Every structure is written in structure tokens, then in C-alpha cells.
Amino acid sequence: MIDLLLSRLDKVRSVGRDRYLACCPSHSDKTPSLSITESNGRILVHCHAGCLPDEIISAAGLEWSDLFEDEWELASHRAFTAKKAIGPVDPLRVDENVLLITREKLSRGETLSTEDQARAEVAYERVREAYNA
């Protein structure tokens, strides 16, 4: 699968076993700044100029699904990149957002479902405990 990606890139050169450098297709790159590595069935891309992996794959005319034979590997890759992009989730911020959404719904006159009401009550207790600690 890495061969498909490499075929879409310019100035590709091997820099070790399953490691390559190439010009990044996501920005005007005259000197190779894109590192590509194949490791444990995964294709890792890193632009030293700061382009995001999704931008790089898209600019190469591909989708991540083009680079993974196995659905589980693709799902694992998507979960890994999503977690890396947003960082660790702060449960208190999640609860605060639940309360903000609840307030918005109520201010528009919407009725909360039983599940939404229960979730809002749990969020309220957690936020109250956190700020009263």
C-alpha cells in the first residue's frame, strides 16, 4: 500500500528500511520535507513544514482507506489520529458542554428526553462537585 502513496509523490528517496523522504504535495515543496514510514502495517506521514496528515493524503489524491487493506487497521488509524489531534479529553469540559447544550435546548423551548435529562443531572453533579472541592 505504501507504493500507491509513493507513486503520487515527487522526489521520493529511500532513507532506510521502509522509510522515505519526498516533497510534500500539500504545500509548495522544492526540497523534500515529508517523511513516510511503513511500520507494523501502518503508513505514517509527517511533514516537517507542518502540514496535517489528512491534508497530505488528500493532496496526493488519496483517502486513508486507499492505504489500508484491513478495515480494523483503518479504524485503529482513525482512532489514533483523532485522539492525537484533540489530545486527552477532559471529563469536566465534557460535562460543562453537556450543561451548555442543555441550557441552549431549554432556552429554545425544547423538551429534554429522559436520557438527556439524566445526562444533564449527572453532568450538573460532577461540575458542582468539581467546583466545590
What are the boundaries of each domain within the chain? 2-86, 91-132
> Which long-range contacts does 124-128 make (Cβ < 8 Å, 24+ apart)?
124/95, 124/99, 126/91, 126/92, 126/95, 127/92, 127/95, 127/96, 127/99
Residues ≥6 apart with Cβ < 8 Å to 133: none
46 phi-psi bin (left φ>0, alpha ψ -120 to 50, beta other): beta
- For position 26, what pLDDT does the model report? 94
Residue 81 pLDDT: 64
Q: Give the model's pLDDT for residue 85.
A: 57
pLDDT at 59: 96
- What pLDDT score was predicted for residue 14? 95
Residue 6: which residues within 8 A CB-CB, separation 6 or more?
A: 12, 20, 22, 36
pTM of the model: 0.57
Q: Could you say which residues of the chain have pLDDT below 70? A: 70-72, 77-89, 133
75/94 Cα distance (integer angstroms) = 23
